[in-house]
Structure 1
């Protein structure tokens, strides 16, 4: 891993860019060893991913999927917590999208926790 970005804003900008550009390599130095993701699927409670390797694999699958269009909306930063709303599209139909929000906790320039929620 390289030196971590220094601010929560830098981490979130790079995280969002990785998904928009479909470049999972941009995520590699953003995820801490103790990272935990509470995913949005499968419903109703999602799946928990623990550790850097599992979290990187999950996000790499999503970020690398060129059929998904991730559109982040402006996030609110509250100390070490980013409240990050987004829209995810997977087709061109009128119902081929969903809104959601991630609560992403960042410490020492790396993501340590992420909880995803969907609006349905």
Structure 2
């Protein structure tokens, strides 16, 4: 996975947090989320179309992400993490089969504060 983060201390820290977050999905192990998600975290999810859903608070965010991370029928391929100060993005491909058509590319736009994720918006490529 490529990392295009800036080298200032805040960007480096953000990239490290996003890499730890991303690993929870790559390994299907959501246990790190407890430490990585802030009490006031807000997620704008990709589903349902067309506008997605909004999840507010640590418990709601962890519940959503745990469901995704533990789904053994899907898996993520990490493409790139980019961090700029307290903001970052994780580019990925979600797969549910071995054929190229059984996948979709997407991105999470994230914001961190005090070592925890406070904001996440997910987007996928579509028609």
TM-score normalised by the chain length of structure 1: 0.91
Q: In the alignment, what sits opposite 2:3?
A: none
Shift of 1:94: 3.5
CA contact (8 A) 2:112 2:119 kept: yes
> What is the RMSD computed on CA atoms of the aligned residues?
1.3
User: 1:85 & 1:13 partners in 2: Cα distance?
Assistant: 11
User: 1:85 & 1:110 partners in 2: Cα distance?
Assistant: 19
Q: In the alignment, what sits opposite 1:119?
A: 125
Moved more, 63-72 or 34-43: 63-72
Moved more, 31-40 or 81-90: 81-90
Shift of 1:34: 0.3
Moved more, 64-73 or 47-56: 64-73
User: 2:38 & 2:55 partners in 1: Cα distance?
Assistant: 13
Figure out how many residues of one structure are paired with residues of the other and give that number.
Answer: 115
Q: In the alignment, what sits opposite 2:102?
A: 96
User: 2:64 & 2:113 partners in 1: Cα distance?
Assistant: 20
CA contact (8 A) 2:110 2:120 kept: yes
User: 1:26 & 1:32 partners in 2: Cα distance?
Assistant: 12
Q: What SS does the aligned partner of 2:117 have?
A: strand
TM superposition outliers: structure 1 runs of 4+ over 2 Å: none
Shift of 1:77: 0.7
CA contact (8 A) 2:15 2:82 kept: no
1:41 corresponds, among 24, 43, 47, to: 47
Does residue 31 of structure 1 match 2:37?
yes
1:67 corresponds, among 66, 69, 73, to: 73
TM-score normalised by the chain length of structure 2: 0.86
